[in-house]
Chains A and B, each alone.
Chain A
Amino acid sequence: MTSARRGGNPARPGLAGLAGLLLIVELLPRLRLVNDRFLPPTSRIAAALADEVSTSTFWHSLGETLYAWAIGLVVAVVAGVLAGLVIGSVPLLRALTASTVEFLRPIPSVALIPLAVLLYGTQLGSTLLLVCYAAFWQVLVQVLYGVADVDPVAEETARSFRFSAWGRVRHVLWPTALPYVFTGFRLAASVALVLTVTAELVIGAPGLGKEIATAQNSDAVATMYALIVVTGALGVVINLLTRTGERRLLAWHQSVRGEVTV
């Protein structure tokens, strides 16, 4: 998928596409095709964005969102990797937990919203509960795939050379599972953002999502759009960073497996 992007100058038509989108959003309300109370023109959204960016509330909310996202993600990744390595490397545990994982994973994390509200109200804890729950499974499942992917010959060779249990984890298991860990991390990072913003929006925990809800309630439609654009941009940045990070850190590893499609 990268070779096609590298050929020619791939950025220019893409920029044209983005410019086209901005132009359409500017023209639709101006030509009265859409009521401008529902969709304000690009210029007004941009003005609202500029207004927002100059307030300290905005930066504070952005900070709150990123903080909740980062903590939730770190907790989920650490827990997911540890649980994945332990469960994955003990066949008995794996057989015992398989059905439970398969059952718990598809439970929509938003089902936990009422519980989070009761337990933590509109505090950070509510957001973290949802974020950790949703992101944990992404990591766990990928790590389980990764551990299952260990080459039996390498594993048996390590055993013949009397690697200690730790040595086998460090030199055989971990390098094999690493690309899967990264895939899990990338998936978890975007899921965590979705759940952070959702929790803020629905529960009212502090952050960008809450600001969107406030803008909606006070009929500040342009501000609402501006904030939504910010969450989208945040998502794009997180995607780019995790993808580039993955490619850089696993440059030595890329050839080992094809891109996991999820």
Chain B
Amino acid sequence: MDVLKKIGSAVALPVLLFAGWFLLSDGSASFYAPPLRQILTAFADTWQPERLRADVAPSLLRLLAGFLVAALIGVGLGVAVGLNRRLRAVLEPVLEFFRAIPPPVLVPVIMLFAGIGDGMKVIVIVFGCVWPILLNTVEGVRAVDSVVLDTARAYGVTGPARLTRVILPSASPQIAAGLRQALSIAIILMVISEMFASSNGLGFAVVQFQRSFAIPEMWSGIILLGLLGFALSLVFRLAERWALRWYEGLRATRRRAG
């Protein structure tokens, strides 16, 4: 019964909004806000398998490649910077500055170096995503409990084991926060880099529809982008919950105790 109630309250508003949009827009003669019925038809017609392969797959691959490279670089450098106090003091303002640059302005810069191919888009994503991951890793590594560190040292845990068994796990909740932030930046940069210069990709397709005034198709592209953003954040959250299940449990116990 409780589960039913939960599902009901989760579904009620979306259904209501969707129905409202459908009914209110049904007679719409507005050029910019076509009836939802028309948008849905356009959605089914536009996003056929070959289109998905031609436009959505390259976008997603670039997103994934950029995100993974950024995660590797960010965590790697972040651990190095976080463990070295002097390096951290020297680099902190520089890193803060790079993080403060709005990532999309990197697109024109990286276009100079890497042209307008796939490489450019991946590099743009890497460059935009790496800062939150890097800075969060630094913070996470810095905040490792010193008692834990001393205990590990006393038990002779050194070298790679110290990194993989002590430091990375302690920092992982922070690293996950950085990765989550980076994911939404990655999606933004994926779209922006394709809007700038591209011959395929989701961002390119949506802008193309807008420029040729194919309004229902444009709306369908916006909806697809929204669904994609939602799906990616859902996948990330599930992965995070799985990877950090020990941490959630720990936090829940602490909260109950505190």
Contact = CB atoms under 8 A, between A and B. Distances in A.
Interface of A: 1, 4, 10, 13-18, 20-21, 37-39, 95-100, 103-104, 106-115, 117-119, 190, 193-194, 197-198, 201-202, 209, 212-213, 216, 221, 224-225, 227-228, 231-236, 238-239, 261-262
Interface string B205-243: 011011000010011011001100110110000000000
A231 B102 contact: yes
Contacts of A236: 96-97, 100
Contacts of B187: 108, 110
Interface in B134-159: 136, 139, 142-143
A92 to B, nearest CB: 8
B188 interface: yes
Contacts of B188: 108-110, 198
Q: Which of B97, B105, B106, B108 has the most CB of A within 10 A?
A: B105
A8 to B, nearest CB: 9
Contacts of A194: 102-104
Interface residues of B, number: 63
B17 A99 contact: no
B48 to A, nearest CB: 20
Given A114-B206, A114-B222, A225-B109, A235 B102 contact: yes
Nearest to B209: A114
Given A106-B230, A107-B225, A110-B192, A197 B97 contact: no
Interface of B: 9-14, 17, 32, 86, 89-94, 96-109, 111-113, 136, 139, 142-143, 173-174, 177, 181, 184, 187-188, 191-192, 195-196, 203, 206-207, 209-210, 215, 218-219, 221-222, 225-226, 229-230, 232-233
A217 to B, nearest CB: 9
27 contacts: A1-B142, A1-B143, A13-B90, A14-B89, A17-B91, A20-B90, A108-B191, A110-B203, A111-B206, A113-B206, A114-B210, A114-B221, A117-B210, A118-B32, A118-B218, A197-B105, A198-B104, A201-B107, A202-B192, A209-B104, A216-B108, A224-B108, A228-B105, A233-B100, A234-B100, A239-B100, A262-B181
A197 B17 contact: no
Nearest to A238: B100
A228 B98 CA distance: 10
